Amino acid sequence: MYDHRSIEQKWQQLWQESGIYRTREDLSKPKYYILDMFPYPSGEGLHVGHPKGYIATDIIARLRLMKGYDVLHPMGWDAFGLPAENYAIKNKVHPRLAMEKNVINYKRQLNMLGFCYDWEREINTTDPEYYRWTQWIFLQMWKKGLAYESHAPINWCPSCKTGLANEDVEDGHCERCGTLVEQKPMRQWVLKITDYADRLLDDLEKLPEWDPAIKDMQRNWIGRSEGADINFKIKDSDQTITVFTTRVDTIFGCSYVVLAPEHKLVTALRNQITNWSDVEAYIETTKNKTDLQRTDLNKDKTGVKLEGLLAINPFNGEEVPVYVADYVLNGYGTGAVMAVPAHDERDLKFANKYDLPIKGVVTETGILHDSGKFSDLTSEEARKQMTVWLEKEKLGSKRVNYKINDWVYSRQRYWGEPIPLLHCEKCGVVGVPEEQLPVVLPDVESYEPTGTGESPLAAITDWVETTCPTCGGPAKRETNTMPQWGGSCWYYLRYLDPKNNNELVSKEKEARWSPVDLYVGGAEHATRHLIYARFWHKFLFDIGVVTHEEPFTKLQHVGLIVGEDGRKMSKRWGNVINPDNMAERFGADALRVYEMFMGPFDQAAVWNTNGISGTRKFLEKIEKLCSEQVEVKVDKKILSLLHKTIKKVGDDIENFRFNTAVSALMILVNELTDYYTANNAWALTKEDMAKLLQMIAPFAPHLAEELWEKLGYKQSIFKSSWPLFDANLVKDEVISYMVQINGKLRGQVEMPAEASEDEVIMAATTVPAIVKWLEGKEIRKKIFVPGRLVNFVI
């Protein structure tokens, strides 16, 4: 009888007591650093969708252990930030107490599933000894000029009552709570990620083991474009409108110029604009729109003509009207565009709405027909020559532009790392001396956001008021806190040296373990965490803290597990499945095997409780098969299948094909069970049955340990070596060849594995189903694919 409760409890206790999964720092072995994106414990616990990635990394970590690697497989908690604080507010509990309680439960659930984490390296981003180094990194950035104060309008969530980075906004709504985001001028700290834009983009080529789709998402988010700044002089004024375009060759089709509502020229020229009240009213209506709302191609284009202004095209001297319109963003390019309706869809919709001219058409060369001396050139040649002409005439210049904006790093919330800066009336902004780090987040009774643009910390006078370390005069602490992304930008480095009180990580341990060999997590982090972590890592490389320019060698994203109703698991829909219930009912091993068997790892899968009962029965077969040693009658066919399975399972695990690995194990176990039932004997020797358990072990570690012990082995199965397959036994004795006529399957022929090409082709011509297709026909070509098919072209 397979009693999963006693077996799992027994082995989890033995693993903990023996410290078997503690990283040994054994320099005689090759290293393997495998990492999950650590969770933020902002809910009461995990549902069955959460462990999918953790199970996968656990399987690979165990495989690598058995292959002789020194494995680092740690876990920790991303416990600062909006998710955690919103949970605490909803449940009317202090965020520190909420996170402490949630972490205990999360850790219990992870241990329940038998993961091989080295818990001695556990980290928590809310631990002052951890965020001391988050603050230290920020200080180094500030000293290098990469952190600056801004008062520009930012994304503001009226529900969370805090500013948000562009990366925290999805379709115009707050990524955390779903509230429509507004634009609000706010004092905030900003990190100059744009200084690293080229490196972030170019170095994607150094990541061949990243999913191409993730790299494309980052390329599109960074949005590098090469073009030119062009100066349009304003008629009867000494002011100039500078536009950015990637297609200077279309300028002869320019029929109007558009300024973003926030463009400084709009207010600078208000005395020349004869309909200022209309313009002012329009600007007011755009203030609460997000960038995504304003640039949505499907939305109706709106704008107002700036009466009294005309812009002069520098190439042909033509005067064109000037508009203000919200589809132009002040943060992209120059905040001004030349509109070419014949070339741009947004410009065309705007032109049609406001009855503006559409000049010219795009020819085969891509040039508008009335482009003067540039007409005979291709688009690429024209762009080059026209940019040279602009620079020669001092009417513009070549420019590289980026869609990515600098990272809004401040949050007007309580639950985050304090920013280690002081404000002194005499000295200005001053960094907290490094020896005074960490700046500890004070305990407060009232931590709810104020909505005033100030963090709740601003009200704690005895914490805010301090002494300037430069002049000794009075100073005030910065009261904005860091976003939830701060602590996760570098956490993978702290696992290498979590107890180091003198530096972020020692050079020896960083050189030993970096970079992360395999990083597994959700694709939704492609344009948030993954870009931020790469940015911080490159900075740490520049200041000599790390030895590699990229933090993660291989990246693998996880497909969601959705509810039985096909929707994302949520309390709102009442479709959440608790892993505690599944593990209690079917066993942790059955749950692990089921989640890996559901389908391709990177694709979404629908939960089905009947499926886990199937993997439970699979494990029961193994338990029954291996519990008692019986007579051995070796079956050569099953022995060959064993070695084929060893090869396949090892390859499939390394390549995230867990579902086909489980399928191969099921086929082998079924064959062994059928043989046992028919002959009351094992088809394999004890040593070969042990190889079956070694293959099962990464997937179902508790049961594998138990049956390994019953076979008489004294040490843990995870101290044994992964089985090797016999190349001779992997070869098929007989191969079934498909036979095609002009590429269409018409028959099959079975041949000995050692048969030559000529022998296979000759045999194929004698198959009755093929003979009728060849009669009276000329075989023009014979195509032979070893081990697979023959194709006759007739």
The annotation status of 426 as a binding-site residue, yes or no, is: no
8 and 114 Cβ atoms separated by less than 8 Å: yes
How far from the centroid of its chain's Cα atoms is residue 76's Cα? 18
Task: Name the nearest CA neighbour of 335 among 226, 243, 401, 227.
Answer: 243
Can you list the positions of beta strands (E) in 525-655?
552-557, 561-562, 605-606
Provide the total of helices (H) and of strands (E) in the chain, helices listed first. Answer: 26, 31
* 570: helix, strand or coil: coil
Q: How far apart are CA 140 and CA 732, in angstroms?
A: 62
Burial class from Cβ neighbours inside 10 Å (0-12, 13-18, 19+) for residue 372 reads exposed
The encoded tokens of residue 317 equal: 């001297």
Give whole-number Cα distances, 268 to 112, 240, 396, in Å. Answer: 65, 11, 21
Task: Name the nearest CA neighbour of 236 among 316, 336, 322.
Answer: 322
The encoded tokens of residue 439 equal: 């700046």
CA diameter of the chain: 105
620 and 40 Cβ atoms separated by less than 8 Å: no
Handedness of CA 264, 270, 271, 273 (dihedral sign): positive
Q: How far apart are CA 563 and CA 49, in angstroms?
A: 9
Handedness of CA 150, 151, 152, 154 (dihedral sign): positive
Q: How far apart are CA 106 and CA 172, in angstroms?
A: 32
The encoded tokens of residue 119 equal: 């818990």
Q: How far apart are CA 497 and CA 266, in angstroms?
A: 54
In order, the DSSP letters of 717-762 are: GGGSPPPPPPHHHHS-SEEEEEEEETTEEEEEEEEETT--HHHHHH
Three-class HEC string of 201-221 = HHHHHHCCECCHHHHHHHHHH
Task: List residues forming the annotated binding site for ATP.
Answer: 571
Task: List residues forming the annotated binding site.
Answer: 571
